Chain A
Amino acid sequence: MQTFSSNFLNWDVIQTYLPDLLAGMWVTIKLSAIILFSGLLVGTCLALVRMARLRLLNAVIIVFVDVVRALPPLMLMVVAYFGLPYLGIRLGGFAVACIVLASVLSAFTEELLWAGLSTVSVGQYEAARSTGLTFLQMMGSVVLPQAFGLIQAPLASRIIATTKNTALASVVAVPELLSQANTAQGYSGNASPLTAASLGYIIILLPMVLAARRLERPREAA
């Protein structure tokens, strides 16, 4: 028990590395915010573009979504970080993590939203247009709110998964929470920084998980 607390819950070690860990947590939060915002936005735009039913464009979107869904995000990050330099494109780790994880989120968002949009009944579209709303007004105030309502539970899980995936950025040298904890663990020869980092992730993610649980309920009532 003594060895457990001194190796896993050593406050002295945690205190030494606390500034680094907090800096890492801030990077994790920034990374998540950028990725969630751009991923959801791009995904929504892709679903709207797909509504136009231009055959070639839709084929491109479908292939993009399928490829990004089929490949492990870590594989995509490694290709972008270690592969693109052979083309003379050198991106930093932070940019790679943002672009890859936002692309993955946008693919899942497009897929879910497209399914949601196809489920909203045709009458809703027709009624909205016949009251004189333009395409964008119809989407913004009639169709999208219903479509997002239909997919809120799976979309929430996807948002959580994306936030968890920011830990992958440690592999491409982004000094986020896991990376800081890993470095601290290496220097101190003690696992306590990893315990602290775990706590940090739970502080960020548990409220999201609890909120997602709440979203799953109305579906059962309906």
Chain B
Amino acid sequence: MNDFAANFFNLQILARVWPSLLRGLTTTVLLSAVIVPAGLAIGLFVAVVHSLRNHVLRWAVVVYVDLFRAYPPLVLLIYVYYGLPFFGIDTDAFWSVVLALVLNTSAYFAEVFRAGIEGIPSGQLQAARATGLGAAQTMRYVVLPQAIRNMLPDLLSNILESVKLTSLASVVTLPELLRAARLAQGNTVNATPLIAASLMYLAILWPLVRLTTRLERRTLAAR
């Protein structure tokens, strides 16, 4: 039992690696703070383009969404990270991760927004237009406010997945939380940093999991 505590819950080791874990956590938060808003914005844009009812654009959106739903984000990240230098583009690990994960998550967000927009009955669109609102105004004042409420559970669960995805950055040696914990574990020959990093992830993400579960339950019950 003592062995267990010394290897997994060692406070001396924790004190030693704490600063580097905190730096890792900061990078994880920073990555999420860039990727989630960018993914949401591009996803919304793609979904609005899909709603324009232009055949060519609609096809392009379906291909974009299906392609990234079928493509493992880790493969995409490695492709971006090792591939871009062949174009003479100097790749910074941080921006490679941002590019790869925004491409991936925006496709998921687009799908959520699309379903949300299509879930609004067409009578509402016609009524909005009949009262003299323009297409953009209809979107802004009638469709999106209702759609966003309906898709809140899916949006939240995608945000949760996006934050979890930032751990892939460790593979391209970006010292976010997971990578920082791995390095600390190697340096100290002790599993405490791994446990500490897991607890940090839990501290940020567990509330989000609870909230998502509650909202999902409510949507399913309402159906």
A residues bordering B, Cβ < 8 Å? Answer: 3-4, 7-8, 66-67, 69-76, 78-79, 82-83, 86-87, 111, 115-116, 118-119, 150-151, 160-161, 164-168, 170-171, 178, 181-182, 185, 191, 194-195, 197-198, 201-202, 205-206, 208-210, 213, 216, 220
Question: Residue among B72, B165, B178 with the most chain A CB within 10 A?
Answer: B72
Number of interface residues, chain B, beta carbon within 8 A: 53
Is the pair B66, A209 in contact by a Cβ cutoff of 8 Å? Answer: yes
**Chain B's interface: helix, strand, loop or mixed, by majority?**
helix
* Between-chain CB contacts (< 8 Å), 28 pairs: A8-B83, A71-B205, A72-B201, A74-B168, A75-B167, A75-B194, A78-B182, A82-B182, A82-B191, A83-B185, A83-B194, A111-B213, A115-B220, A116-B220, A119-B221, A119-B223, A160-B69, A160-B70, A167-B75, A168-B74, A171-B171, A178-B75, A191-B83, A194-B78, A198-B76, A198-B79, A202-B70, A205-B71
A-chain residues with CB within 8 Å of residue B141 when the two chains form the complex: none
Query: How many whole Å from B21's CB to the nearest CB in chain A?
Result: 13
Is the pair B201, A71 in contact by a Cβ cutoff of 8 Å? Answer: yes
**Which residue of B83, B165, B166, B209 contacts A69 across the interface (Cβ within 8 Å)?**
B209
Question: Residue among A3, A4, A75, A205 with the most chain B CB within 10 A?
Answer: A75
B residues bordering A, Cβ < 8 Å? Answer: 4, 7-8, 66-67, 69-76, 78-79, 82-83, 86-87, 115, 118, 160-161, 164-168, 170-171, 178, 181-182, 185, 190-191, 194-195, 197-198, 201-202, 205-206, 208-210, 213, 216-217, 220-221, 223
CA gap between A8 and B79 in the complex, in Å: 10
A-chain residues with CB within 8 Å of residue B74 when the two chains form the complex: 167-168, 170, 178
B-chain residues with CB within 8 Å of residue A205 when the two chains form the complex: 69-72
Is the pair B75, A185 in contact by a Cβ cutoff of 8 Å? Answer: no
Is the pair B75, A72 in contact by a Cβ cutoff of 8 Å? Answer: no
Given contacts A66-B209, A178-B72, contact A86 B78 (CB under 8 A): no
CA gap between A178 and B168 in the complex, in Å: 14
Is the pair A72, B86 in contact by a Cβ cutoff of 8 Å? Answer: no
Is the pair A74, B167 in contact by a Cβ cutoff of 8 Å? Answer: yes
Is the pair B75, A197 in contact by a Cβ cutoff of 8 Å? Answer: yes
